[in-house]
A and B are shown apart, each in its own frame.
Chain A
Amino acid sequence: MVDYIQIAWQGLVSGFAYALIGLALVMVYKTARILNFAAGTMAGISGFLAHWWAAEQDMPFGVAILFAMIMTGAGTYVIERLTVRPLVKLGDFLPIVIMTLGVEEFLANVSLLWWGGTARRYRVPGDIDRINYLIGDFRLNAWHLVVAITTFLTLSIVGYIINQTELGLGMKAFAEDQDAAKLMGIKESTVSIWTWVLSALVGGVTGIVFAPVLFLQQDYMNIIFIKGFVAAILGGFLSLSGGVAGGLLLGELEAFTIKWAPREFAAALPVVIVFIVLLIRPHGLFTREKGHERV
């Protein structure tokens, strides 16, 4: 029994990562109908910056995180203005997707040049990630607890922003109907850029908080990015809560598959899920099918 709880908890922790990245992807897709391929790399760079500043540049951990978040926000702001914005008025999304691929390639190589290709493991303050509590036979890693708390905090903050602020209202308006939102005087470029920044910050938090769980390697967030995408598909890609729920579900599925299925299958699980969901419920597990397509 404890075994199952242990696996379920493990799945939940990975699920947090998928949920957060899923949320970040859905956010941008929903408001701007853009997929950001650089999201994983951007999140990875945030994580690297924070831990590198803290461990190698002797910055206090909190300050390092703060700086990393500021860098993430500012960097995203610049990237969106320089690369995405000029293409939006063309009205075709394909060049934008290609652009984010170019940004991905560029940033991945910047971080490769900066930190090299080898995996690193930085210490966190108080070595929390090495502390394990034993509750009966159930082993609880202290850092996993930090991960859980951070996830809940992040989700609450995002929920607050979306439901209680003007930005959130603008995002919802754009998600509903781009043209109508523009006619109502909501400025598209303002909503878009803050959505990008918010999404990148959520990614950044994920990168920072999961760095001690995974090894810090140049492309360590890519796998989380893929799975966050699978989470978003599970949730139908247009629902924020669906993306989060999809992430948690994927985490659990994965944890139990690794336990029982052969490794080849466990590795293929995300793609299998993508195919099955697209086949049976392309609109996601948790949302109802949307109406018609206009000709």
Chain B
Amino acid sequence: MSDNPEIQENALQRAGIPLPKFLKKNHYFGFLGILLIYLLAGTYSQYSQTIMNTIIFAIIGASLIVVFGMAGQLTLGHTIFVAAGVFLSANITTVWSRGLETEIPIAFGVAFLLGLLIGFPSLRVNELYLALATFAVAFVGVQVLFEWKQFSGGGSGKPVGKLELFGYEFSRGPTLVRIALILMLITFWIVGNYQDGRTGRAWNALRTSETAARAVGLPVAWLKILCFAIGGGLAAIGGVLYAHTLRFAIPENYGVSLSIIVVLALIIGGKHRLMGAVLGAAFVKWLPELSRDVQEYEGLIYGGTLIILTLIAPDGLVGMFEWVADRITNARRSEKDGKGDQTSKASSVPLESLFLAPLSSSEPKGNLIVSNAAVSFGGVRAVNGVSFEIPAGGVTGLIGSNGAGKTTLFNAITGHVKGAEGKFVLDGIEISQKPIHTRALAGVGRTFQNLNLHDDLNVLEHALLGLDRNIGYGRIAESFRLPWVLREERNAHYLAAELLDHMDLLEYWDEKVEDLPYGLQKRVDVVRALAANPSILLLDEPAAGLPTAEALEMMKKVQEYANHISAGVLIIEHNVELVADVSDRILVLDAGQTIADGTPEEVTRNEQVIAAYLGT
């Protein structure tokens, strides 16, 4: 048996899932584009100013992709970071007489810290509120700058010193464009790496469903603050360049209107792609170059374009191009598909594969002790003093009529409901009163009754989200795509592929979850929970809405996997037949209390249960 996964027949290769590589096709295109402008910068020096502005806006746009495109935090206070870069640059070059080597790290660092601070309200409020809170930050930021004359020079502004790097002075014009291009390359590299790495995946997840992101164990609060810090730091680099282009820093330029323009530019270009940042910047900066008339109606055109694009192409110009490209490739692919070249279903057993086999464990886990759990909504006690113990490694069913408090009990265990009383102990560790993601990391895995999936993410990414906790690279390593980042990502991809294979989802790995039929969506929900290698898996009505045969098949797979990793399963289900079939033991809830507890045979014969179910 070979240890090298490359030559082993595995699920990843069968499905043709590409492995993460150091450089992708996009990287080459991007690099070529930047190289072209780099070489042409000298020839077309009359456009230096516009090129420069475009680059700066592209950098700011890329930094906004982090905050808004990925993490989904609509911020209108982004110029405060740009302003930080601009004024730090002005002060460093004039007061300290230092060059870019000092300006960039300091600007990045200060804006990073500022971002930690500004990201803070995002924890307390919804996105709508946040938009206005950051709007207020932008608005007031300018006023504070204006009054802080020592730092900003007040209304008359502050001059920016020489353009230097390690004591070498550079002329502006084409040289500045070249320096800006290099910085743009670096920012784009960093943002691109986040897009491909675990942090970007986590940001995308929290954007599309925060509840589910927490349940899978992602530290949502930290991730939110981090997006502001990283986005802010990168925007400040754009600010430093801006300072050197304008050569004069005036507070009133960095107010609300600039904040809105950078957001509009990114949305017009397309907020999910780096190319969108470039297109948006080009749109905003080259349009006024066309003619004087355009210049006058600039803002009108931006506003109008945004209104129209929001209505017809919410993903911006890039979204439009991708849509067209998709249609062309789809048309081609369907011609090919007609000839019928289905990938043969392999005979190998995923659970015995090189990647899932090591997860096998003979030590049962998932011993959950619930004592005196209680949840009330207003005057209604939805869960009223429930106590039970689930032995490690077994399957326990939880049944009860509608409104009996089953899902609420789940939410109390996972932390999704506030103010739950009682004590929950999982494998000897108390998890009550802990935040949701801590409980998840402690081993609580769950699915949702109403399918909390992440739209925009494909099936494979859902599995990778579950695996996030096992991916062992740091966020700094990720931003530079260091070798071990790739190694860990590849391993995660192999593992995810096997898991998908086990749940018969492999052929759909590339599909967006919202395009899948309901039954498969349920499986994706389960896969995400299973990938996290939980100690106990809480399944909330996994069979609801599925034909019994399909539900049974899925449950069989889940059970196989749970046995494989020796995890416990607690399952809420209305289909008593199915529960009796899969469970070792059944708990019955009624009106917030347990009314029966025993083997399936005992419970189905229990008179109280029959009364509760049949209403006699």
* Residue ranges of A at the interface with B (Cβ–Cβ < 8 Å): 29, 33-35, 37, 83, 86-87, 93-95, 97-99, 101-110, 112-113, 222-223, 226, 229-230, 233, 237, 263-264, 267-268, 270-271, 274-275, 278-279, 282, 291-293, 295
Report the Cα distance A113→B256, complex, angstroms. Answer: 19
Q: Is the CB of A105 within 8 A of B416?
A: no
Residues of A within 8 A of B417 (CB): 292, 295
Residues of B within 8 A of A101 (CB): 76, 260, 263-264, 306
With A98-B74, A109-B299, A267-B146: A292-B136 Cβ-Cβ less than 8 Å: no
B124 within 8 A of A: yes
With A94-B74, A102-B310: A226-B124 Cβ-Cβ less than 8 Å: no
With A105-B260, A275-B120: A267-B132 Cβ-Cβ less than 8 Å: no
Report the Cα distance A220→B140, complex, angstroms. Answer: 15
Q: Is the CB of A113 within 8 A of B143?
A: no
Residues of A within 8 A of B264 (CB): 101-102, 105
Q: Is the CB of A295 within 8 A of B411?
A: yes
Q: Is the CB of B310 within 8 A of A95?
A: yes
Residues of B within 8 A of A108 (CB): 257, 299, 303
The 5 closest A-B pairs by CB, nearest first: A106-B303, A109-B299, A105-B303, A102-B306, A267-B143
Q: Is the CB of A230 within 8 A of B129?
A: no
Partner of A292, one of B127, B300, B418: B418
B378 within 8 A of A: yes
Residues of A within 8 A of B256 (CB): 222
With both beta carbons as reference points, the residue of chain B lying nearest to A263 in the complex is identified as B147
Q: Is the CB of B136 within 8 A of A274?
A: yes
Q: Is the CB of A226 within 8 A of B299?
A: no
Give the number of residue pairs across the A-B interface with Cβ within 8 Å: 137
Q: Is the CB of B147 within 8 A of A292?
A: no
Report the Cα distance A103→B127, complex, angstroms. Answer: 19
Say what secondary structure dominates the interface of chain B.
helix
**For window 76-99 of chain B, which residues contact chain A by CB distance below 8 Å?**
76
Report the Cα distance A233→B136, complex, angstroms. Answer: 12
Q: Is the CB of A292 within 8 A of B377?
A: yes
Partner of B121, one of A94, A102, A278: A278
B544 CB to nearest A CB, Å:
15
Q: Is the CB of A99 within 8 A of B121?
A: no
Residues of B within 8 A of A222 (CB): 139, 256
Q: Is the CB of B416 within 8 A of A295?
A: yes
Q: Is the CB of A226 within 8 A of B144?
A: no
Report the Cα distance A280→B417, complex, angstroms. Answer: 21
Partner of B296, one of A105, A113, A223: A113
* Residue ranges of B at the interface with A (Cβ–Cβ < 8 Å): 72, 74, 76, 120-121, 124-125, 127-129, 131-133, 135-137, 139-141, 143-144, 146-148, 211, 256-257, 260-261, 263-264, 267, 296-300, 302-304, 306-307, 310-311, 314, 377-378, 407, 411, 416-419, 448, 452
- A-B residue pairs in contact (CB < 8 Å), sample of 14: A35-B131, A98-B306, A99-B306, A99-B310, A101-B264, A103-B307, A104-B260, A105-B306, A106-B299, A113-B300, A233-B129, A267-B143, A271-B136, A282-B125
Q: Is the CB of B140 within 8 A of A113?
A: no
A224 CB to nearest B CB, Å:
11
Known: A267-B147, A278-B125. 18 other contacts (CB 8 A): A29-B128, A35-B129, A35-B132, A37-B131, A95-B310, A98-B74, A99-B307, A101-B260, A104-B260, A105-B264, A106-B307, A108-B303, A109-B299, A264-B148, A267-B144, A275-B120, A278-B124, A279-B120
Report the Cα distance A98→B307, complex, angstroms. Answer: 8
Residues of B within 8 A of A99 (CB): 306-307, 310
With A105-B260, A237-B129, A268-B143: A37-B135 Cβ-Cβ less than 8 Å: yes
Partner of B297, one of A29, A83, A93, A109: A109
With both beta carbons as reference points, the residue of chain A lying nearest to B128 in the complex is identified as A35
Residues of A within 8 A of B125 (CB): 278, 282
Report the Cα distance A110→B418, complex, angstroms. Answer: 48
With both beta carbons as reference points, the residue of chain A lying nearest to B263 in the complex is identified as A101
With both beta carbons as reference points, the residue of chain A lying nearest to B127 in the complex is identified as A94
Residues of A within 8 A of B419 (CB): 292
A234 CB to nearest B CB, Å:
12
With A223-B139, A230-B136, A295-B417: A97-B74 Cβ-Cβ less than 8 Å: yes
Residues of B within 8 A of A278 (CB): 121, 124-125, 133
Residues of A within 8 A of B416 (CB): 295
Residues of B within 8 A of A237 (CB): 129
Residues of B within 8 A of A229 (CB): 132, 135-136
A263 CB to nearest B CB, Å:
5
Residues of A within 8 A of B314 (CB): 95
Q: Is the CB of B147 within 8 A of A264?
A: yes
Q: Is the CB of B303 within 8 A of A109?
A: yes
Q: Is the CB of A93 within 8 A of B304?
A: no
Residues of A within 8 A of B136 (CB): 226, 229-230, 270-271, 274
A38 CB to nearest B CB, Å:
10
Q: Is the CB of B128 within 8 A of A279?
A: no
Residues of A within 8 A of B306 (CB): 98-99, 101-102, 105
Report the Cα distance A157→B413, complex, angstroms. Answer: 49
Report the Cα distance A275→B124, complex, angstroms. Answer: 10
A217 CB to nearest B CB, Å:
13
Residues of B within 8 A of A226 (CB): 135-136, 139-140
Residues of B within 8 A of A34 (CB): 128
With both beta carbons as reference points, the residue of chain B lying nearest to A83 in the complex is identified as B307
Best-buried of A29, A35, A98 by chain B (most CB within 10 Å): A98
Report the Cα distance A268→B147, complex, angstroms. Answer: 10
A6 CB to nearest B CB, Å:
24
With both beta carbons as reference points, the residue of chain B lying nearest to A227 in the complex is identified as B136
Q: Is the CB of A97 within 8 A of B124?
A: no
Residues of B within 8 A of A275 (CB): 120-121
Report the Cα distance A72→B411, complex, angstroms. Answer: 47
Report the Cα distance A97→B310, complex, angstroms. Answer: 10
With both beta carbons as reference points, the residue of chain B lying nearest to A269 in the complex is identified as B140
Q: Is the CB of A291 within 8 A of B211?
A: no
Best-buried of B125, B133, B136 by chain A (most CB within 10 Å): B136
Residues of B within 8 A of A291 (CB): 377-378
With both beta carbons as reference points, the residue of chain A lying nearest to B264 in the complex is identified as A105
Residues of A within 8 A of B146 (CB): 267
With both beta carbons as reference points, the residue of chain A lying nearest to B420 in the complex is identified as A292
Q: Is the CB of B129 within 8 A of A97?
A: no
A43 CB to nearest B CB, Å:
16
Q: Is the CB of B140 within 8 A of A271?
A: yes
Report the Cα distance A274→B118, complex, angstroms. Answer: 11
Q: Is the CB of B140 within 8 A of A270?
A: yes
Partner of A113, one of B133, B144, B297, B311: B297
Q: Is the CB of B140 within 8 A of A279?
A: no
Report the Cα distance A295→B212, complex, angstroms. Answer: 9
Report the Cα distance A225→B452, complex, angstroms. Answer: 36
Q: Is the CB of A264 within 8 A of B144?
A: yes
Report the Cα distance A95→B72, complex, angstroms. Answer: 12
Residues of B within 8 A of A35 (CB): 128-129, 131-132
A178 CB to nearest B CB, Å:
15
A58 CB to nearest B CB, Å:
28
B412 CB to nearest A CB, Å:
11
Residues of A within 8 A of B141 (CB): 271
Residues of B within 8 A of A295 (CB): 211, 407, 411, 416-417, 448, 452
B330 CB to nearest A CB, Å:
24
A233 CB to nearest B CB, Å:
8
With both beta carbons as reference points, the residue of chain B lying nearest to A110 in the complex is identified as B300
B373 CB to nearest A CB, Å:
15
B130 CB to nearest A CB, Å:
10
Report the Cα distance A268→B136, complex, angstroms. Answer: 10
B306 CB to nearest A CB, Å:
3
B254 CB to nearest A CB, Å:
14
Residues of B within 8 A of A87 (CB): 310-311
